[in-house]
Structure 1
Amino acid sequence: MEALSKNFFLYLSNNSVLDRLAKKWGPKFGADKIVGGETFEQAVPLIQQLNNQGLHITVDHLGEFVSSEEEARNRAKECVDTIRSISSNQLQSQVSVKLTSLGLDIRHDLVWENMINIMEEAKKHNVVITIDMEDSTRTQKTLEMYKALKEKYDNIGTVIQSYLYRSSEDLDDLNSYDPYLRLVKGAYKESGKVAFVEKSYVDDNLKHLIKKNLLNGNYTAVASHDDAMIEYTKSFAKENNIPSDQFEFQMLYGMRNDTQLALLKEGYKVRVYLPYGDDWYGYFMRRLAERPANVAFAVKGIFKK
């Protein structure tokens, strides 16, 4: 049943008609409960409010799979402007980027040029950039880009997905780079040839990746709404004397708000993944597919006043 639910939401995420309707009617159906605004400047007051609660942020300009060079360059400029705004407003925020929005599917030199421009600005303003992980056909290119940029910049991280068979070996490969890693379950529709299909295997592998990365001494962002995964991380860190400044918990804006604040009170660092832009529909459907239990959180978040 869970697999059917996941496939259902992934199918909806690719429905162009629903996507157009979502862009038009999003605010009326609670998009503002899961997205910070249509522009970054609209999101600034919300980020300030979350920062005042003690929450850290990572922002993501929604949209991916760019097919024109002009649009890719515009996305890079938007990211640079966002970094400058983070600095000028003194926000506690990082930036997440998707390489497909910066030209990954167009030309290597284009996405490289865009990332260099972004990283130079981020270095100037001491802002951390995380390269989001997309579907498995782009995993290798994403990791190669990350490693090449990590040779030049310290303020960069990336994402490892536990539903992919390759992920434990990827951790081994990245270990020498002193990586900053966000560990997630994964939210794209993947073949059983490259990814675990059963939820229990995905969960077990995420625990394995958390354990390995923490024992390797690398900074670990555990991005999960799963109470069992959160408790596992807390217990493992305590049992193995992992310092609290070596890891953090990450959750989506609009979901598990009470849990976020409870973790803060316990002394843990919590970062909220805050997307902005009008292209929110596909993002939201993939989050529901990633963990169908998110449906309950989403409904509560959308309709709670």
Structure 2
Amino acid sequence: MLAEVSKNVFLHASQNKALNKAAKKWGLRFGAAQVVAGDTIEHAIKKVRELNEKGLVCTLDHLGEFVSSREEAIEATQYNVRTLEAMGQAGVTCNLSVKMTQLGLDIDRSFCVENMRRILETAKKYDNFVRIDMEDYAHCQMTLDILRELRETFDNVGTVIQAYLFRAEQDVKELKGIPLRLVKGAYQESPTVAFQDKAQIDENYMRIIEEHLLSGTYTAIASHDHNIIAKVKEFAHKNNIPRTQFEFQMLYGFRTDMQLSLVKEGYTMRVYVPFGNDWFGYFMRRLAERPQNVAFALKGFFSK
């Protein structure tokens, strides 16, 4: 009960625009520096290089979402372009994750698509890949529609499917052939569109993982759950699915011991590395996902 209340508090905080705006002025507080790799491209590239040296590959995410002006969206687009250029010039093994609402999806669909095309053109120049992060349910169908439109021109783009959504299994089937990151889901969604029970979410998660792996499509399994990871290993082995067809993904700052263990076992392990000053919403969702994550906040708070 207490865990559920805590989860709801953090999820509501993640959507509070006033708190998000204030947090940009605070700097990385309350333990956020442990899970956000600095506030500049230079800081992020340095962290990525350190992770690469340990055998980990990465994806960078310049934090930010739900922008309300064209100027903000253009600025975010330019920043993502510069991030791709910096990665290419640094020679790090890292791709890019972006959010459509950061690029103006809530302002104008065509405007957002053009911003995304610019990012993908830059990624193509550096032979890199861009992952469109999935956001809340309200943006799900729009995101998938835009993905399909972009895939007509670009093959270096994929997206994310959230297992807690009832529609997830059908979406995975329809997106056969497109690289997907499969996650459990981190937003607060209605019982009319999403599973609320952890056991049901886990069951659906394994269902869509197996579906996508058996389709022969490259699959990213993003989870810190050791039980899920063990099941994926077993399923891949039993079905002769090569390790080159999938990878595991985890968040920067979480389960680093398990990340390195997977590398030693010969699996591709990608670290999702967020950076930037728009960190508050991301950090609140991480606290909401698992009660244990609150320890990060308390440690950071009392160390000030």
Q: TM-score, normalised by structure 2?
A: 0.94
Instruction: Decide which moves more: 9-18 or 184-193.
Output: 9-18
RMSD of aligned alpha carbons: 1.9
Q: Please show how residues 89-108 of structure 1 align to structure 2 within 5 Å.
A: 89-108=90-109
Count residues in correspondence.
302
Say whether the 8 Å CA contact 2:30–2:298 is kept in structure 1.
no
* Structure 1 match to 2:88: 87
The Cα offsets for residues 231-270 of structure 1, whole Å up to 9 and x where unpaired, read as 1111111111110011111101011011100111111110
Report SS of the residue matched to 2:154.
coil
Q: Please state if 1:250 is matched with 2:249.
A: yes
In 2, Cα distance between equivalents of 1:303 and 1:152: 50
Could you tell me which amino acid in structure 1 is paired with residue 33 of structure 2?
D
Distance 1:55 1:65 in 2: 30
- Is the 1:37–1:43 Cα contact (8 Å) retained in structure 2? yes
Is residue 2:282 matched to residue 1:283? yes
| SS at 1:29 equivalent | coil
How far residue 295 of structure 1 moved from its aligned partner, in angstroms, is 3.5
Q: Which residue of 1 aligns with 2:51?
A: 50
Contact 2:32 2:297 in 1 (8 A): no
Aligned in 2, Cα 1:94/1:111: closer, same or farther, shift over 3 Å? same
Q: Show the counterpart of 2:152.
A: 151
Moved more, 147-156 or 283-292: 283-292
Tell me, yes or no, if the aligned pair for 2:28 and 2:277 is still in contact at 8 Å: no
Misfit runs of 4+, over 4 Å: 296-304
What is the alpha-carbon distance in structure 2 between the residues aligned to residue 62 and residue 110 of structure 1? 20
Greater CA drift, 235-244 or 286-295: 286-295
1:135 aligns with 2:136: yes
Structure 1 residues 176-225: Cα deviation after superposition (integer angstroms, max 9, x where no partner): xx110000011111100100011111111000011100011111111111
**1:190-269 counterparts in 2 under 5 A?**
190-269=189-268
Q: Distance in 1 between matches of 2:101 and 2:69?
A: 11
**2:139 & 2:252 partners in 1: Cα distance?**
26
User: Once the 2 structures are TM-superposed, how far is the Cα of residue 24 of structure 1 from its aligned partner?
Assistant: 3.7
Contact 1:164 1:196 in 2 (8 A): yes
1:294–1:203 CA distance, 2 compared to 1 (3 A): farther
Distance 1:301 1:262 in 2: 27
Q: Distance in 1 between matches of 2:246 and 2:116?
A: 26
Residue 242 of structure 1 aligns to a residue in which SS?
coil
TM-score with structure 1 setting the length: 0.94
Cα separation, partners in 2 of 1:141 and 1:229, compared to 1, 3 Å: same
What are the Cα deviations for residues 149-178 of structure 1, in whole angstroms up to 9, with x where unaligned?
112111111000001000101011111xx1
